[in-house]
Structure 1
Amino acid sequence: MENNLNQDNITPTEKDESGEDVKRDFKGLLSSTRRFLFELLEIRTNTDASATKESIIADIPFKGHTSWILICSIFIASIGLNANSTAVVIGAMLISPLMGPILGMGLSLAINDIDTLRRSLKNFAVMVVLSVITAFLFFYLFPLRDESSELLARTKPDIRDVLIAFFGGLALVIARAKKGTIASVIFGVAIATALMPPLCTVGFGLAIGKPWYAAGAMYLFTINTIFIGLATFLVIKFLRFPMVRYANSKKRRFIARVASIIGFAVMIPAGFTFYNVFQESLFKKQAQEFLNETIEVYQFNDSGRYVDNLTKIQYVDDGTSLIEVVCMGDELIPENVINTWRIQKNDYSRLKDVEFRILQGGRDDSQEKYNYISELYERNKADLLTKDEQIRLLEEEVSNLTKNVGKQIPFNNISSEARANYGNIASLGFSYQIRTDFNKIDTIPVFEVKWKDETRESQKKSDSERMLAWLKLRIQDSTLVVKEVD
């Protein structure tokens, strides 16, 4: 009651003053927040434009010491990629001088410096050619040329590579622009944007005669280059570096127009690349979700098995994309289940027009068994003299067939699977071989494999061992033998 009386005694003037105090406090809070955020994120006041420009221009040329540093770093990176060693690759990227011409291009476009742009482009071309030639010579002359995961990872860029290159470029230019450059940031960006491994992979693809590896790696290098240059251009513009002045105003306008056109021309493929890679990433995400909900949860009753590492998800922007899964074993997935999956596929917006294909390893070979018995009977019919002899021979052959029925092999399917799993295989043969230890006679399935001429002995041995283990599991026969033929 007393509180109510006190509130009733507050005059309108006092209420207005109280409201004004709240407004002043709120405005003060907003002002403090703005000031805090400004001090936290503002970078212009601590930027040394003159020193930044000089340092970037000084790193552009590739000659003398810089060229040899690049050659040595390319060799180190190539060895690391060949040995599948991430640590060695990181070490090579730390000493690599690849960033100079790329930053020079972004800087020159931002400040209308046509002479610096010309030098940057020339040294960039020298850098790329020298790097690719060095990597090519290493992989061409070095006897070990395994397709390691570190190498193959650089042949197919995705949306993450675009984002890494762009934000890495932002971090690098901001660090270079700060008074007292942050060296650790420069080293970190050199590792993150990974300019050197794609160039090494280009040389690797050319050395082993697989130009599609080289094309994929060069595409990744191009993405990194464009987005690092774009980040440099945007940061320099934001920091308001002074534009290069020309005595001739007509020439100044012309150069400014040329620089703007070049900058715009660079942004077009950058935007196009980002869009395409982003679309491919969304497609692959939906494709993987579809597989997770269908084939990966399907329960095989017998000897069937889904081979996820042979799954093929191929994105083509013209609508002819493909999802292809591989199953091994004699158990077939029913057609009605596959049709249900095809209907489920249409629930995903990016998979409606995609071709969905299932390759299955097993097939019913009853027709082959019938043909085998018929051929055997016809071949021995002329030698049969009596009815008893006919019955005895047929009983023997049926007995042999019964013993070997588990060893009947779907050779067409196995050869297709072998070709998909082993890229170095030239031909594959199969036969049964009768063996004895003079105590018993056994029939042994024998696969004869011929490797491509350029395959190294160590690779042949490794692939033969893997093939033997796979075939024993695939055919469920521990007596199986794999022989190499010339």
Structure 2
Amino acid sequence: MSEKAEENKGIAPDEEPIESREEVKRDFKGLLESTKVFLHDLLDIRPNTDQEATKEAIIADIPFKGHTSWILICSIFIASIGLNANSTAVVIGAMLISPLMGPILGVGLSLAINDIDTLRRSLKNFAVMVVLSVLTAYLFFAVFPLRDESSELLARTAPDIRDVLIAFFGGLALVIARAKRGTIASVIFGVAIATALMPPLCTVGFGIAIGNFEYAMGAMYLFTINTIFIALATFLIIKLLRFPMVRYANSQKRRRTARIASIIAILVMIPAGYTFYNVFQESRFKKQANDFISEKIMPYQFSKGGRFLKDFSTIEYNDGKDSSIELVFMGNETIPENIIDTWNAQKEEFSKLTQCDLRIIQGSNSAEVDQFKYVNELYESQKNQLLGKDDKIKLLESELSRLQKLAANQIPFAEISAEARANYENLLTLSYSQTITTDFNTLDTIPVFEVKWKPEVAQEQKQKDAVKLTDWLKLRLKDNKIQLKEVTMATTESTE
């Protein structure tokens, strides 16, 4: 018997040899080391970083004078025209030639390396660029005769969590591309498009020009988000790559400069974190609101003619205070109160909606909603999604039929009252309302006119005039369901 056999003679059949376990451990450890080396070679950007060239390139893009100022003005005009014409391609072209990114990278670089002089120049040039951009956009929209609120403009008035992430990761990509030996120009162009610094400034000018400061504030908020997170990404990458700190001959000045740079960096990070938190909370609120609408509201079935207009319903966050969901319904059929109560109860199932106010705007007779406006907007919102002429014709026929039904229910009361006053001299007052009745199977709307006759008129004459007035109203309005109700003086006094 061999020596190996002798050694293994006393080992149970299901017991693994010690040497075998050791080999597995060595193989596993070797695999981890190989993976670590692979990932390090794959993701490490330090060996291929040219620190001096990167620093020089960023500092060279900070100055704002001469050619740069005219390039900025031209890019602002191009972006404004593109936003006004709702042309995405033109807006992208303006982003590519905009020089706004230079001072922002300068702020991030100077904070990371304690270069207070570069920080001062970056902030000064950045402020001049912003003011010039907003002023140029304002002058364009103030003078230009066409100032429609296009979708490209409105898209820059309400930032959300995606804008924060785009700005941060766009800033990371930009600085990494800048730091590489042989700068990757395509990445720089891509970041210029993705982060979209120019369009929000144009939208600020547009909001000021039309007097809508809510648009201007929303767009400036988006621009501020982009600026802060691009600068923050620059700061982090420069720190990660361990760029050398600026040396000062005076040790006291060096410490003071480092302290100032650190304070400014913290001041930049605090609003960045606060902004991210707020936008994240708003994003969660809107997601739950949309889930609530999809799961609880949209499945509701109308028995006749009603329609839920999701595109025209609004979700307002307002920093968590006085948040609201406004739902718009169109048609003659009203939503029963018990259904609305059920929706309010179901709203509590969503954690972010517990303090939210649910508002229901409904019915063709509601003073809060213009049915003709919504029919027109419904077509305008859907026409670009139609595939061909047949789809357009079907949609137009459907909405025209609905519009005709709505028009049939509209009473030209001013004209009717004037004609009635001219034809019936005994008429003192005339009022109109619609009464909703039900036999508990269907709902019906009855037009009701209330009349008050002059007190000196005999009762027999009142009855004759009432019959004639009723027949005339039915004929004039082409509605046999019209009812006439007399309001007596006694009723009026008791009401008062």
Bin of the TM-score, shorter chain as denominator length: 0.7 to 0.9
Question: Is 1:150 matched up with 2:152?
Answer: yes
Amino acid at match of 2:479: N
Q: In structure 2, what is the Cα distance between the partners aligned to 1:82 and 1:391?
A: 58
Q: Deviations over 1:123-171 (max 9, x none)?
A: 0011101111111111111111110000010011000000000000000
Q: In structure 2, what is the Cα distance between the partners aligned to 1:398 and 1:47?
A: 86
Q: In structure 2, what is the Cα distance between the partners aligned to 1:357 and 1:397?
A: 40
Q: In structure 2, what is the Cα distance between the partners aligned to 1:122 and 1:391?
A: 80
The Cα shift of 1:83 comes to 0.5
Match of 1:291 in 2: 293
Match of 2:175 in 1: 173
Q: In structure 1, what is the Cα distance between the partners aligned to 2:128 and 2:201?
A: 13
Match of 1:462 in 2: none
TM-score normalised by L of structure 1:
0.77
How many residues end up aligned between the 2 structures?
402
Amino acid at match of 2:173: A
Which of the numbers 128, 132, 135 marks the counterpart of 1:133?
A: 135
Q: In structure 1, what is the Cα distance between the partners aligned to 2:96 and 2:37?
A: 38
Q: How does 1:403-418 map to 2 (within 5 A)?
A: 403-404=478-479
Which of the numbers 435, 457, 467 marks the counterpart of 1:366?
A: 435
Which of the numbers 95, 100, 105 marks the counterpart of 2:107?
A: 105
| Structure 2: gaps (5+ residues) | 366-432, 437-444, 484-496
Q: In structure 2, what is the Cα distance between the partners aligned to 1:369 and 1:148?
A: 41
Amino acid at match of 2:478: K
Which stretch of structure 1 is more off in the superposition, 350-359 or 107-116?
350-359
Q: Deviations over 1:89-129 (max 9, x none)?
A: 11111111111000000000000000000000010011101
SS in 1 for 2:349: coil
Q: Deviations over 1:420-469 (max 9, x none)?
A: xxxxxxxxxxxxxxxxxxxxxxxxxxxxxxxxxxxxxxxxxxxxxxxxxx
Which of the numbers 23, 26, 29 marks the counterpart of 2:25?
A: 23
Q: Deviations over 1:260-319 (max 9, x none)?
A: 000000000000000000000100111111111222111111222212222121112353
SS in 2 for 1:135: helix
Q: How does 1:177-188 map to 2 (within 5 A)?
A: 177-188=179-190
SS in 1 for 2:318: coil
Q: In structure 2, what is the Cα distance between the partners aligned to 1:96 and 1:46?
A: 28
Match of 2:410 in 1: none
Match of 1:257 in 2: 259
Which stretch of structure 1 is more off in the superposition, 328-337 or 314-323?
314-323
CA contact (8 A) 2:62 2:125 kept: yes
| 1:390 to 1:69, Cα distance in 2 relative to 1, 3 A | closer
Provide the alpha-carbon RMSD of the alignment: 2.9
Amino acid at match of 2:435: S
The Cα shift of 1:210 comes to 1.1
The Cα shift of 1:400 comes to 2.8
Which of the numbers 472, 475, 478 marks the counterpart of 1:400?
A: 475
Amino acid at match of 2:434: D
Which stretch of structure 1 is more off in the superposition, 14-23 or 281-290?
14-23
Question: Is 1:221 matched up with 2:212?
Answer: no
SS in 2 for 1:353: coil
Match of 2:124 in 1: 122
Which of the numbers 44, 49, 52 marks the counterpart of 1:50?
A: 52
The Cα shift of 1:372 comes to 2.1
CA contact (8 A) 2:473 2:482 kept: no
Amino acid at match of 1:346: E
Q: In structure 2, what is the Cα distance between the partners aligned to 1:233 and 1:407?
A: 74
Q: In structure 1, what is the Cα distance between the partners aligned to 2:87 and 2:195?
A: 18
| Structure 1: gaps (5+ residues) | 409-486
SS in 2 for 1:294: helix
The Cα shift of 1:34 comes to 0.7
CA contact (8 A) 2:474 2:482 kept: no
The Cα shift of 1:178 comes to 0.6
Amino acid at match of 1:160: R
Which stretch of structure 1 is more off in the superposition, 389-398 or 126-135?
389-398
The Cα shift of 1:371 comes to 5.9
The Cα shift of 1:327 comes to 1.4
The Cα shift of 1:338 comes to 0.6
| 1:179 to 1:407, Cα distance in 2 relative to 1, 3 A | farther
Q: In structure 2, what is the Cα distance between the partners aligned to 1:103 and 1:67?
A: 18
Which of the numbers 331, 334, 342 marks the counterpart of 1:332?
A: 334
Which stretch of structure 1 is more off in the superposition, 217-226 or 349-358?
349-358
Q: In structure 1, what is the Cα distance between the partners aligned to 2:455 and 2:209?
A: 55
Q: In structure 2, what is the Cα distance between the partners aligned to 1:380 and 1:400?
A: 28
